[in-house]
Amino acid sequence: CYGEFIDTLEPTDVGADMAAGSLIKNIGGGIAPTGGYIVGRKDCVTQASYRLTVPGIGGECGSTFGVMRLLYEGLFLAPHISIEAVKGAIFCARIMELAGFEVLPRYNDKRSDII
């Protein structure tokens, strides 16, 4: 979580068999009220879907109780909102450095999340 849309590589691009995250944060644009995702190797995702839901349901259900509009809207807005959070973090880091505070990461450091 918190790293989606921030770096050019995702965990599954660098060897992770599976990754999971929340739709409430980056991917949901901060407006999705619920939901999550699992990505990666098909066998890992299938196994996780059966262990994290009701037995026999697997990945055949999801967060659809009247919130689909917000999920899609959040997904649409997510890249813009995520980069704005990065810009805000960079701006804040620079202002704090100019005010004499030690900042980590510095304003010009590479960022891979927005925590």
Contact 31, 69 (CB under 8 A): no
Contact 95, 106 (CB under 8 A): no
Q: pTM for the full model?
A: 0.73
Task: Please give the angle made by the CA atoms of 83, 91 and 11, to the nearest 5 degrees.
Answer: 40
Per-residue model confidence (pLDDT) at position 51: 86
Per-residue model confidence (pLDDT) at position 53: 81
Amino acid at 15: G
Per-residue pLDDT of the chain (115 residues; tens, 9 = 90+): 567 888 888 888 899 999 988 888 888 888 888 888 899 999 999 999 888 887 778 777 776 778 888 988 999 999 999 899 999 999 999 999 999 999 999 999 998 888 7
Among the listed residues 41, 34, 37, 47, the one whose alpha carbon sits nearest the alpha carbon of residue 18: 41
Per-residue model confidence (pLDDT) at position 109: 95
